[in-house]
């Protein structure tokens, strides 16, 4: 998930990767939308309710459209992608893709029988069968498990190449790896370029439709591979982790277990304090340096003051090395806000290129930059230098695209989801290093109606999937779910942090960041990450062993 995004000039520029969970900005400008808070300042609004930016993670990989025809009737339609099946872990840098791309004829609407319901669209999914133990002797009982990634709000190839954990453990289990793209994202757009055109088309973009997509594709795939008895374990991170856990609850007959990393399933309604995300970001920086925290906290008022005139905006554009003169001071605010928020999310203990190329422990490195300035240095120079670690650590950017987005309509699928069912309230408290802001359901509803002509169903997620008293509820009817979280990740505060039962386990690491456990193993991994992954593998092995034991008892 990404961090939440701005609704107006002084609102938090976030939107949850999970990302939540939810997304990122175009050409390194402002961030998208997840749970934007309503500000209390009187600075002028941006012309539109949603910033005209494209999530960064949707641009992280160039989308490659494969040409293939589609057959009706729900049959699988395969088309090899550029590259070939690889034998190593995916780390996002390999020259050859460790998967092949395929397309499934998916029905548009699984829950009605209207004339449009049976319309089909091409849903993309990726396969890696390098280590799969195939069925033998005409009997599918010996088939290895299917490890299925439940796709997030973006291009599935981007998620697959950043989910090395699944590739790392596939040999041990003899597993077939499957990565399914979420409807309305990447290449899986039911109405092509018109998919985001209006509520008439976007009305088919819901989490329940997405879960049904996964179930139908998995069952069809197993049948076509003569592996109907093979166990299925679903994996997901951020919003995808939420989907994985919900999939286990809704489709226990399709999957034997779920591994949900950094999944803030409790970030809804009044379950988790609304200020928790930004309190978490602020605590990450404060734990490294009180001076660092104070400098960032003091940046916003100075920025607003200097950006109140045309000359001030020109001076700020030069200071922040903008490719073009910025028109609004809040554009720079969003640019800074995004850098600090996402750096906290990906405060990994080893160098990584998940969102940007960053060094190990990037929050610590940002604070070193700020603390290294001499007394009396310009506070905005400090903030710019720190944010440059996020946007330009490699030093290859000659200027910063602070306002120019590539999406002419400012629309993407998550913005719709954040205006319909994925209502994750966010505020900024006085203790945060960001400017205080508030949230009300009524204001969110009005903004969504203005933008889309629809009003949110703010309590639908907890009605459909639960959340309140989750420990009492799932203890009685849920099983086989791992919720993993790292407490350096600000989304962790909306996650499951304590064991619910002997089979619904919370694996929490004090120094972990956003879905760190799902990244490829490296030589520099600290012992606590290695141990977390080992526990996950052991638990998954137990699920599979129990499944096979149950199958033997049933057959006998």
pLDDT of residue 140: 66
What's the start-to-end Cα distance of the chain, in Å?
A: 45
166-186 mean pLDDT = 97
What residues form DSSP beta bridges with 237?
261
What's the rounded Cα separation, in Å, for the pair 320 and 399?
A: 8
Residue 89: what pLDDT?
A: 41
Identify the bridge partners of residue 459 per DSSP, sorted by sequence position. Answer: none
> From CA 25, how far away is CA 239, in angstroms rounded?
17
| Residue 278, φ and ψ in degrees, nearest 5 | -75, -25
Given a contact cutoff of 8 angstroms between Cβ atoms, the answer to whether 121 and 106 are in contact is yes
Across the beta sheet with 100-107, the strand order is 76-78, 100-107, 120-128, 176-180, 146-150, 232-237, 257-261, 481-486, 504-509
pLDDT of residue 141: 66
Specify the fold of 275-392.
1.20.120
Our CA dihedral for 283, 288, 294, 295, rounded to 10 degrees, sits at -120
Active site (catalytic) residues: 238, 489, 514
Q: What is the pLDDT of residues 293-310, one digit of tens each?
A: 999 999 999 999 999 999
Q: At 135, is the pLDDT very low, low, confident or very high (cuts 50, 70, 90)?
A: confident
Report which of 344, 331, 2 is spatially closest to residue 154, judged by C-alpha positions.
Answer: 2
Q: Please, which pLDDT band fits residue 136 given cuts at 50, 70 and 90?
A: confident
Strand 257-261 to strand 232-237: parallel, antiparallel, or no bridges (unpaired)?
parallel
* Segment among 52-61, 229-238, 285-294, 507-516 with least mean pLDDT: 52-61
Q: Are 379 and 298 in contact (CB under 8 A)?
A: yes
Give Rg (Cα) of the chain. Answer: 23
| Residues above pLDDT 90, as percent of the chain | 76
Q: Whose CA is closest to 211, among 242, 165, 167, 238?
A: 242
The more confident residue out of 38 and 500 is 500
Unique residue bearing structure tokens 């340096």: 289
Q: pLDDT category, 423, cuts 50, 70, 90?
A: very high
- Calculate mean pLDDT across residues 230-246: 97
For residue 22, is pLDDT > 70? no
Average pLDDT over residues 177-188: 97
Q: Which residues make beta-bridge pairs with 233?
A: 147, 257
Q: What is the pTM of this model?
A: 0.86
Q: What is the pLDDT of residues 62-115, one digit of tens each?
A: 323 333 333 333 444 444 444 333 334 444 443 578 999 999 999 999 999 998
Q: Rounded to whole angstroms, how far apart are CA atoms 249 and 474? A: 9
DSSP state letter for 324:
S
Q: At what angle do helices 290-306 and 276-288 cross, to 10 degrees?
A: 120
Residue 27: predicted pLDDT = 28
Averaged pLDDT for residues 411-436 = 92
H or E segment to which residue 435 belongs: none
| pLDDT tens for each residue of 352-409 | 988 899 999 999 999 999 999 999 999 999 999 999 999 999 999 899 999 975 543 2
The CATH number, out of the four listed (3.60.15.10, 3.40.50.620, 3.90.1140.10, 3.40.50.1820), of the domain defined by the range 100-269+466-555: 3.40.50.1820
Q: What is the mean pLDDT of residues 245-262?
A: 98
Helices (H), 117-259: 156-160, 164-173, 199-202, 207-224, 239-250
Backbone angles phi and psi of 239, in degrees to 5: -60, -40
User: So where are the chain's domains?
Assistant: 100-269+466-555, 275-392
Q: Is it the case that residue 555 has pLDDT exceeding 90? A: no
Q: How many CB atoms lie within 10 A of CB 93?
A: 8
With H, G, I as helix, E, B as strand and everything else as coil, classify residue 484.
strand
Q: How many CB atoms lie within 10 A of CB 136?
A: 10
Predicted local distance difference test score (pLDDT) of residue 87: 35
Report the alpha-carbon distance of residue 232 to residue 234 in Å, rounded: 7
Residue 143 has pLDDT above 80, yes or no: yes
Q: What is the pLDDT of residue 556?
A: 72
Residue 96 has what pLDDT?
76
Across residues 213-236, what is the average pLDDT?
A: 97
- 94: CB partners within 8 A, 6+ apart: 86, 88, 161
pLDDT digit string (tens) for 263-275? 999 999 999 999 9
Instruction: Give the pLDDT mean for 122-126.
Output: 98
């Amino acid at each position: 998930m990404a961090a939440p995004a701005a609704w107006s000039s002084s609102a938090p520029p976030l939107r949850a990767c999970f990302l939540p969970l939810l997304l990122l900005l175009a050409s390194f400008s402002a961030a998208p939308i997840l749970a934007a808070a309503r500000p209390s300042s009187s600075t002028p609004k941006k012309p539109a309710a949603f910033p005209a930016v494209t999530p960064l993670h949707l641009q992280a990989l160039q989308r490659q459209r494969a040409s293939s025809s589609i057959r009706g009737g729900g049959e699988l339609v395969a088309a090899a992608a550029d590259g070939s099946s690889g034998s190593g872990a995916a780390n996002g840098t390999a020259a050859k893709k460790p998967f092949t791309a395929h397309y499934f004829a998916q029905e548009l609407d699984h829950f009605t029988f209207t004339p449009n319901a049976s319309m089909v669209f091409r849903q993309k999914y990726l396969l890696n069968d390098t280590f799969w133990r195939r069925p033998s002797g005409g009997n599918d009982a010996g088939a290895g498990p299917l490890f299925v990634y439940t796709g997030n709000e973006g291009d599935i190839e981007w998620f697959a190449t950043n989910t090395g954990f699944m590739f790392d453990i596939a040999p041990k289990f003899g597993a077939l790896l499957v990565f399914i793209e979420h409807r309305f994202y990447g290449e899986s757009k039911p109405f092509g370029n018109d998919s985001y055109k209006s509520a008439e088309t976007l009305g088919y973009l819901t989490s329940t439709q997405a879960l049904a997509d996964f179930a139908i594709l998995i069952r069809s795939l197993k049948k076509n591979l003569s592996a109907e008895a093979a166990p299925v374990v679903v994996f997901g991170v951020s919003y995808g982790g939420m989907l994985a856990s919900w999939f286990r609850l809704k489709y226990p007959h399709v999957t034997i277990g779920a591994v949900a990393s950094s999944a803030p399933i409790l970030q809804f309604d009044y379950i988790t304090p609304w200020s928790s995300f930004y309190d978490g970001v602020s605590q990450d920086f404060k734990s490294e340096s009180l001076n660092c925290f104070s400098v960032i906290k003091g940046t916003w008022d100075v920025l607003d003051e200097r950006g109140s005139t045309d000359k001030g905006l020109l001076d700020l554009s030069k200071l922040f090395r903008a490719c073009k003169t910025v028109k609004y001071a809040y554009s720079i605010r969003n640019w800074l806000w995004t850098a600090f928020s996402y750096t906290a999310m990906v405060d990994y203990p080893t160098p990584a290129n998940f969102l940007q190329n960053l060094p190990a422990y990037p929050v610590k490195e940002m604070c070193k930059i700020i603390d290294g300035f001499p007394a009396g240095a310009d506070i905005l120079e400090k903030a710019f230098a720190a944010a440059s670690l996020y946007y330009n650590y490699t030093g290859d950017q000659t200027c910063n695209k602070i306002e120019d987005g590539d999406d002419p309509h400012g629309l993407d699928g998550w913005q719709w989801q954040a205006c319909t069912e994925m209502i994750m309230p966010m505020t900024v408290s006085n203790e945060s290093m960001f400017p205080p802001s508030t949230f009300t359901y009524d204001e969110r509803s009005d903004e969504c109606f203005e933008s889309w002509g629809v009003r949110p169903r703010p309590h639908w997620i907890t009605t459909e999937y639960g959340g309140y008293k989750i420990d009492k509820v799932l203890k009685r009817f849920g099983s086989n779910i791992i919720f993993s979280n790292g407490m350096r990740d600000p989304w962790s505060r909306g996650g499951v942090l304590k064991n619910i039962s002997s089979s619904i386990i919370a694996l929490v690491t004090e120094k972990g960041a956003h879905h760190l456990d799902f990244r490829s193993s490296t030589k520099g991994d600290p012992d606590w990450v290695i141990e977390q992954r080992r526990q996950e593998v052991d638990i998954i092995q137990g699920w599979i062993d129990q499944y096979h034991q149950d199958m033997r008892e049933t057959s006998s």
